[in-house]
Structure 1
């Protein structure tokens, strides 16, 4: 049979076992075995009554399976088969609801509409959900109203107020209760907490901390330097507070720019172009700060941007002088007179004070060639030139008044000087030409092609004119022809040239250039008459076959010439030895030794002085007029302009100090 415990908390009789045996015939003994026999449950072996000796808890064990049997009291033999029965523990409401995962945290966007779901919570009850209402839970909010509400059965928490503002209050604490017995009185309850945080949305525009900003900057500040910072505050956080800055108006939009600093959330004003205090002393900018991330739900509130005015005052700074040109290209003719002005560099002081300016060279390698006036900037020719030079970079300094900063400002500019060519060289043959004419040549045959050269360098290239001397215009033997490549061909007028009659012809040719004025020179072409083969190959250009005596061979003639030469050598040696033997050892009175001494009018310059004079001049007095000066002065200038002059150098041999004739 089945026995059921009616009350969990009571200890006492549960029931009684019976049997079909005659109690008068034998004495019966009851025994109990199974779950909890002897420890939780006990049986009266005489009457069969079953008792609970401990309190039962359904949440620990809901039912027990036991076995009962009647046996003989004396022999303990079974009087009938064992009987199995189950004891079920009936539930009572002895467990309160519990929130196993609390306390809870949840987020919901600010400005959410009414009834927006926040989260849901769940409580558990250990009582039997099937029997009675011991495990039937009902939820409610004890604290957190009127901001949030909860559905009693599902425990879903929602917003109870619309448009909650994070900037007003960011965090809320909600206390939630779960009560069993369907919420009726007498039921047990449990509580937990829920922390609700409002997340930010972009519902606030940026706002400048002040409407007017003042900055000052020196006019010589480096480009890209930060002039100042402006900041627009935003009550939002994170990316919702990010703003971009722009210059939208003002008279300095071309000179200044503004960039956004994502970390500091401010705008940095930087210089884009150079400032000039003398041109403009202040600028006004209108800057704008606008949110980067716009929430369309709040666009109706107006533009999420703000503007401010920025005043920038330019401070005067001591600036370097400014050349009138970034580079200078000067030209001078190679025959220009010494100390003539070939050009001028000019500069101005951009400062209001307009301090005096002086010019100077940065390098001194060419100071002996050009001179620079420090006050006017004029450049003079000091040494005659023949071709191109690059003048060292001139600089200028500014002498500052006492009330300004105590240092000098320097500017630099490159000056290139191009030496212009003049037509001072006559053209001439490009090389030493010698023409050969075959005796069996034909009329009109080209004997030789010659070309000319000119040391000058005209802009449009060389163009030569060729002609014969006036007295040679009607030359019966030769004529000339100008070629397209600026060369000249010499042609034979007839055939039948005979080297026995005339072996060599001299043909003077006049060569003129196209300069202004044109220059010309006469070069003579030597034409030799030769014996040639039938195909025009030169074989012999001498006349020995026509001048040898009759009957005398070539070998005999060579032997005779050798004997004559040997005899002449012996005679010369004999006369020379005899003269040296009779020559006196003293100098004759009529010879002046001073003619062979050259005065060396120099103080002596050490190792540098070794090149002051050519030692060959001391050996040959006539060579003084051909003395070549040192340090590379153009030889042609010396030869053409000072053919009989010499010079005296100072001790350092650096420059000419005196001219003597």
Structure 2
């Protein structure tokens, strides 16, 4: 005999066990067949033969339920398929065995009493109105309590709520059948002891209609009337629609509003088939007199209570051909008193705007033109004002702006003994330096200034900026700065400027000592 344990959650058609009868024969003489001949699992299990291994394969035909039955017993027979008649006396060529299958309990999710619940509710239902109830239970022997919730992926707008303990479904907000006539939601049932076990139930909630929408025109009508129309001529047939869905269908009633009932231009005829006809009352329509008419039409439904609306039909007066087909519906363009039509005025305005744009472009381009950067040689630059936004140190500051610091290196000065007063600088004749590289001259000049700043107790702060306007001796004309003369009371001879050519004639006249000098 054989015994096998199977979980109750094993799917249908799964293999439960494999058994094999021993046979010393080989080849076709060893081929066998198996069948269940007795037992309480005849309808639950079946057995087949594996042609390669000659094993009997037991599979499930129906779902197992531990709570309904915990074990099954099967009587199985194995027999040779091919028996040689010569050896029948040696038979029988078959054998019997017993197979016991034990069903194991598995924690199963809650099960709803119905796979689909159908409920109805009126769209006029107030919030918290009870719609219906769902129920689920734990199929296990423990019979754990169940808690309910709504899968919000199926109720995104949160129209409904459910009581977690009782399963009662109620409305959470106002409903509108015209927006959604049927709501399909999924209800979840969870075991209290094992929330991972979740059962699902499906609820279809149908919204019952109420008459909460007034009828209106079925479409936007473009109605025209010919200037040569005759009284009683049909110019438009209209119909209506209503978003509501009454049980007996729609029935609409058409009429003109009270203020339009006695108008002399148009009338309305209700056709009693949810349509109406608009007719003319007179002839002699003229676009020059009135090109558009507005006809208010009253439409009422048959609901309880009935609802109504007023819709306006726009009627344009048109020039029609002999067949009554509209050709043009616009009012004629009138000639202006000055003899210019509207088209001519538009053309004139366009030309004026074009000229204005051209003028603006020309003005903009002229403003963007830059003045030449080269000064005229004849321009006297002495009157130019150069602004240096630099503030002095006051009356007591005689060091930070000592103009003697700007003198040329070729001028020899005496060693300073005091830095709290402005030193007197004596200008001597310009000595001739031997030709040395410029970088050496600059290095010596800077090094000398550094030594003076280190030993001077009255020097400016270390983080102040000191500007040394030093030129070097590369120019043939040497220094042209007039700052040396400003920082000294001694006279200097500028007669050599006359030897530099006509370009320096003005300077020679200004600073020379000859009889033709401009200044004394």
TM-score with structure 1 length normalisation?
A: 0.43
Corresponding residue number in structure 1 for 2:113: 324
Distance 1:341 1:332 in 2: 9
Are 2:295 and 1:295 aligned?
no
Are 2:225 and 1:412 aligned?
no
Once the two structures are TM-superposed, the CA of residue 428 in structure 1 deviates from its matched residue by: 1.4
The 3 A distance-change label for structure 1 pair 535 and 225 is closer
2:190 to 373, 397, 411: 397
Corresponding residue number in structure 2 for 1:426: 214
Matched residue of 1:366: which SS? coil
Distance 2:9 2:327 in 1: 86
Corresponding residue number in structure 2 for 1:379: 169
Distance 2:339 2:164 in 1: 79
More helix by share: 2
Corresponding residue number in structure 1 for 2:103: 314
More strand by share: 1
Corresponding residue number in structure 1 for 2:312: 524
Distance 1:482 1:474 in 2: 20
Matched residue of 1:227: which SS? strand
The CA RMSD measured in Å over matched residues stands at 4.2
Are 2:72 and 1:283 aligned?
yes
The 3 A distance-change label for structure 1 pair 306 and 513 is farther
The higher radius of gyration belongs to 1
Query: What are the ranges of 5 or more consecutive residues in structure 2 without an aligned counterpart?
Result: 343-520
2:8 to 210, 216, 219: 219
Once the two structures are TM-superposed, the CA of residue 307 in structure 1 deviates from its matched residue by: 3.4
Distance 1:248 1:474 in 2: 97
Corresponding residue number in structure 2 for 1:555: 336
Corresponding residue number in structure 1 for 2:497: none
Equivalenced residues, count: 337
The 3 A distance-change label for structure 1 pair 511 and 305 is farther
Counterparts of 1:450-461 in structure 2 under 5 Å?
450-456=238-244
In the TM superposition, what whole-angstrom CA distance separates every residue of 1:558-589 from its partner, at most 9, and x where no partner exists?
99x9xxxxxxxxxxxxxxxxxxxxxxxxxxxx
Once the two structures are TM-superposed, the CA of residue 323 in structure 1 deviates from its matched residue by: 1.4
Once the two structures are TM-superposed, the CA of residue 494 in structure 1 deviates from its matched residue by: 5.8
Greater RCO, 1 or 2 (C-alpha within 8 Å, sep 6+): 2
Matched residue of 1:297: which SS? helix
Matched residue of 1:555: which SS? coil
Once the two structures are TM-superposed, the CA of residue 434 in structure 1 deviates from its matched residue by: 5.6
Matched residue of 1:480: which SS? strand
Q: Is the 8 A contact 1:393 1:412 kept in 2?
A: yes
Distance 2:16 2:325 in 1: 90
In the TM superposition, what whole-angstrom CA distance separates every residue of 1:608-655 from its partner, at most 9, and x where no partner exists?
xxxxxxxxxxxxxxxxxxxxxxxxxxxxxxxxxxxxxxxxxxxxxxxx
Once the two structures are TM-superposed, the CA of residue 381 in structure 1 deviates from its matched residue by: 2.2
Distance 1:473 1:238 in 2: 105
Once the two structures are TM-superposed, the CA of residue 375 in structure 1 deviates from its matched residue by: 1.0
Distance 2:307 2:140 in 1: 55
Counterparts of 1:122-137 in structure 2 under 5 Å?
none
TM-score with structure 2 length normalisation?
A: 0.53
In the TM superposition, what whole-angstrom CA distance separates every residue of 1:433-489 from its partner, at most 9, and x where no partner exists?
4633234323543212333333445688765443445797798752325497x5433
The 3 A distance-change label for structure 1 pair 501 and 361 is closer
Corresponding residue number in structure 1 for 2:237: 449
Distance 1:516 1:247 in 2: 70
In the TM superposition, what whole-angstrom CA distance separates every residue of 1:409-441 from its partner, at most 9, and x where no partner exists?
222234455555433110112455463323432
More moved, 470-479 vs 311-320: 470-479
Query: What are the ranges of 5 or more consecutive residues in structure 1 without an aligned counterpart?
Result: 1-209, 401-405, 546-552, 562-661
